[in-house]
Amino acid sequence: MERINPGHLAPPTGFSHAVRAGSGTMVFLAGQTALDGNGRIVGDGIVAQFERALANLLDAAAAAGAGPSDLAKLTVFAVDIADYRRHARDLGLVWKRLVGTDFPAMAVIGATRLWDADALVEIEGIAVVR
């Protein structure tokens, strides 16, 4: 995969402006929240819930044969964008620990409510397995 960040666009922080995927198998990853194995939302606050949701997404990706570097596109839905932005540094540290420094094309979207009423964040994505 080639991560593309044109110099005339604002410098990306924690995402890539574009990702060009060569041939491979696309894996569509359903939205993941901070659900534990018993179907309960766990984690106090946005950072803990983001970490669990991202770990759940990575587990689903791994089950389909995709690793962190195969992530091409992610969408994060957050119920409180201001809270998400306030914790951006800590969220970035979680990302680097779980995924590394390969950033997919990414968007953060404000949502009034997620499927799980106690969820603060949900992450969905697309991976391309070579």
Q: What's the confidence (pLDDT) of residue 24?
A: 87
Tell me what the pLDDT averaged over the chain comes to: 95
> Which tokens in the block code for residue 117?
């009423």
- Read off the pLDDT band of 112 (50, 70, 90): very high
CB 73 within 8 A of CB 106: yes
Whether the per-residue pLDDT at 1 is higher than 80: the answer is no
Distance in angstroms (rounded) separating the CA atoms of residues 76 and 74: 7
User: Across residues 79-84, what is the average pLDDT?
Assistant: 98
Asked if residues 49 and 77 have their Cβ atoms less than 8 Å apart, the reply is: no
Q: At what angle do helices 46-63 and 88-98 cross, to 10 degrees?
A: 30
Stated pTM of the model? 0.90
- Residues 8-36 pLDDT 10s: 999 998 899 998 888 889 999 999 999 99
Say yes or no to pLDDT of 82 above 90.
Answer: yes
pLDDT band at 2; cut points 50, 70, 90: confident
Torsion angle (degrees, nearest 10) of CA 90, 114, 18, 25? 110
Q: Which residue ranges form the domains of the chain, and what is each CATH number?
A: 2-128 (3.30.1330.40)
